[in-house]
Structure 1
Amino acid sequence: MAAGPEASEHLVSHPDVDMVSFTGSTTIGSRIGEVCGAQIKPTVLELGGKSAAIVLEDADLDTTIPTLLGISVIPSSGQSCVCQSRFLVPRSRHDEIVERLVAALAEVKVGDPHDPEVQMGPLITEAHRERVLGFIERAVDQGAKVAFGGGIPEGLTEGRYVEPTLLTNVTSDMEIAQEEVFGPVVAVIAYEDEDDAVRIANDSKYGLAGSVFTSDIAHGFEIARRIRVGTFSVNSYSADFNSPFGGFKKSGIGREHGVAGFESYLIPKTISVDPSVTLPEEIVRSADTVTRGV
């Protein structure tokens, strides 16, 4: 059974809780940080994201297009903090890429996730579906165009389904380009050159994840170094459980996974003695195996 806000805040603020690790929304994470900060209590906060997938001029669309869908709308119906929800594409290839994306989205089967042929299931609650549809409606009001989807799938009125949705004519200052939708909605944003693409990718209060698609992997690494996010992939997106995972800016503080994840739960302690003193043998032995304490 999940605890409500009152019980959760009691647990977070309790003096016997030495450290808090939280995965969830930036709003709740901010409140947890406020409570823990007042107590000088360490936290690890893995919060929201608005990740950008940058498609460079030389990207191979035959492999890029299916990968883009596989790291955005298809997994968990876009209900993922690392969902690549902004596709940054060169203006010179914009129409071609949009056409290919629309054709690929038309092949995505939405429905009961128990069906092995289904690729995309429902959203978590009715209220969340209405929230996602609200984002789409406001995006259109602000000038975006629905290239694909935008509503409830035909024949799936029962349940919490939203069509995989592709929005074009989006600019970086729109709500749909700045706020986390947490649903199967992707905004396509055209850029003029690579510097412009980097600028747009970094134009976000979030900094959790991102990706770049290019035929030149070395150049992909150059782009990766310029994007201010915690995890970034070239020609894919995946989180390695052996590597640190977390974000910059309002995507959180601290890291999960790998050695860095364990270190978040440890507090270094130093014990020193006069260097001229010969230490007892049992202390020397223990120092070989015990390097940290709490």
Structure 2
Amino acid sequence: MANQDYSRNEFFIGGEWVKPSSSRRFELINASTEESLGSVPEAAQADVDRAVAAARHAFDHSGWATSSVAERTAVMGRFAQALEKRAGDISRLVSMQNGMPASLSALFEGSLPVGLLGYYSELVSSLQVDEKRPSQMGKETIVSRRPIGVVAAIVPWNYPVILAMTKIAPALAAGCTIVIKPSPGTVLDSYLIAEAAIEAKVPAGVINWVAADREVGAYLVSHPGVDKVAFTGSTAAGRSIAKVCGELLRPVTLELGGKSAALILDDADLDLVLANLPMVSLINNGQTCFSCTRILAPASRYGQIVDAIASTVAGLTIGDAVDPATHIGPMASAAHRERVEGFIAKGKAEARLVAGGGRPQAQKRGWFVQPTVFSEVSNDSLIAREEIFGPVLAVIPYKDEAEAIRIANDSIYGLGGTVWSADTERALRVANKVQTGTIGINGYALAVGSPFGGVKASGLGRELGPETLSSYQQLRSTYVSG
């Protein structure tokens, strides 16, 4: 039922359901209907202390950190199976909370977290824990990889499960323990993941989950019992976390914002661009850090491309996030819708509105915004500079290939991007000149086995791939002289 009460009253700490230390609670609202989904407890500093203590004890005394790879992968395998059983319920809860279309949440929040556990389980099984290297001054050096310790993971609301698992899976594989702080807007899915951990017999204290606001989240980041921080969220928050971790000399991974560009070259197959536009530029209602929301179009085809994009966007189905037919769901909250609408209002003053620009009339309730397209946009305009984090596209004209590259690079961000051309080699040459951590050729498909992350104001470090596993490990050299 749409109005079912999903309220919870405890945190998951030390392998158990634990009563909160205060009576404060987060109210959760269905983004598509504005109906209450229930409420969950809000953590205070005392709850974070308890969660970190549980993770610290599990790391220092439970044997998890010194367990064999076979023991850890067995736990991860059981955890993956338990999650898979709950995949449908998890993805539905995410869609209700943040408006993610059901077709997308089934993949990103239901299936991919299970796949990530399998990937890191296989990866860690294939790596050497201790490697012997020749020594010029002694007999040999033993290079050891050891778990880094207790991890504080701060997870945003837009992809709460997969972004939690990009931290949980490599942490488990490495032998770390973890305290996760989900966003206040998407907490219900955390309880199903905790239930899966209980069913899988994940050792007590290895995974801990407490929902908290920014202030208590900052307390977790600076907690003396934490050894590493892994954060996904805004660039502003990332800068604050980086400052704290820098002062503490604490390792940190930051996956931050973006304002990525789609470079449509003059020979591009426009039908291919349009077919991929919903996933490349409007994925999760535009609430995605790597979305290509700056569309760079050649002046020679500018009118044709603008008209085609506007027509495609206008034809997308807007509706309840749990409806499989929905392309565009609501914004995650009323406050976020107001923010997006503020940018649209500013866009109307600095560019030409060619599609959307308001609230869909068919949706009487829910935090919906029409997918919106602006043309005649300068790359210096606000809607081309700021990360709007909504279904708002800015189509920017360019004269030649060199100018397209210059415009793409004229941003404080560098997270994603795409290049579209009938000539793959040409597209690759252009892509190599774009300053970004990831880029797609004639599409954009994340790969679990490849590193994901940004340059410039889009972050530090990487998630996914074997490179991430090393960030949850410490290296130690043992010099053997005889």
- TM-score by structure 1 length? 0.91
Tell me which residue corresponds to 1:13.
Answer: 222
Tell me which residue corresponds to 1:272.
Answer: 479
Deviation at 1:51, TM superposition (A): 0.5
1:53-202 pair list within 5 angstroms? 53-73=262-282, 75-141=283-349, 143-202=350-409
- 1:227 paired with 2:434, answer yes
Deviation at 1:119, TM superposition (A): 1.1
Q: State the distance in 2 between where 1:271 and 1:59 align.
A: 55
Deviation at 1:89, TM superposition (A): 0.4
Structure 2: runs of 5 or more not aligned: 1-186, 188-210
1:154-208 deviation line (CA, Å, top 9, x unaligned): 1213110000000111101111111100000000000010000000000000000
Tell me which residue corresponds to 2:238.
Answer: 29
Q: State the distance in 2 between where 1:116 and 1:41 align.
A: 43
Deviation at 1:93, TM superposition (A): 0.3
- TM-score by structure 2 length? 0.56
Q: State the distance in 2 between where 1:70 and 1:93 align.
A: 22
Q: 1:211 aligned to 409, 418, 421, which one?
A: 418
Q: State the distance in 2 between where 1:21 and 1:10 align.
A: 14
Calculate percent identity across the aligned residue pairs: 45
**SS of 1:206 mapped into structure 2:** coil
Could you say which structure has the higher helix fraction? 2
Q: State the distance in 2 between where 1:127 and 1:214 align.
A: 39
**SS of 1:182 mapped into structure 2:** coil
Match of 1:128, as an amino acid?
H
Deviation at 1:106, TM superposition (A): 2.1
Q: State the distance in 1 between where 2:446 and 2:477 align.
A: 34
Deviation at 1:115, TM superposition (A): 2.1
Q: State the distance in 1 between where 2:215 and 2:339 align.
A: 24
**SS of 2:373 mapped into structure 1:** strand
Tell me which residue corresponds to 2:115.
Answer: none
Match of 2:292, as an amino acid?
Q
Q: State the distance in 2 between where 1:5 and 1:239 align.
A: 29
Deviation at 1:114, TM superposition (A): 2.2
Q: State the distance in 1 between where 2:343 and 2:226 align.
A: 38
1:1-49 deviation line (CA, Å, top 9, x unaligned): 5211221111110121011000000011110001100001110000000
Q: State the distance in 2 between where 1:107 and 1:201 align.
A: 27
**SS of 2:379 mapped into structure 1:** coil
**SS of 1:183 mapped into structure 2:** coil
Deviation at 1:62, TM superposition (A): 1.4
- 1:47 paired with 2:228, answer no
Deviation at 1:102, TM superposition (A): 1.6
Q: State the distance in 1 between where 2:276 and 2:413 align.
A: 22
- 1:243 paired with 2:454, answer no
Q: State the distance in 2 between where 1:257 and 1:6 align.
A: 28
Tell me which residue corresponds to 2:94.
Answer: none
Tell me which residue corresponds to 1:258.
Answer: 465
| Runs of 4 or more above 6 Å deviation | none
Deviation at 1:68, TM superposition (A): 2.0
Deviation at 1:273, TM superposition (A): 2.4
Paired residues in the alignment total 273
**SS of 2:475 mapped into structure 1:** coil
Q: State the distance in 2 between where 1:112 and 1:82 align.
A: 24
Tell me which residue corresponds to 1:280.
Answer: none
Aligned alpha-carbon RMSD (Å): 1.0
Q: State the distance in 2 between where 1:234 and 1:100 align.
A: 20
1:79-138 deviation line (CA, Å, top 9, x unaligned): 000111000000110000111112212210101122222211100001100100100111
Deviation at 1:268, TM superposition (A): 1.2
Q: State the distance in 2 between where 1:42 and 1:219 align.
A: 39
Match of 1:137, as an amino acid?
A
Structure 1: runs of 5 or more not aligned: 278-294
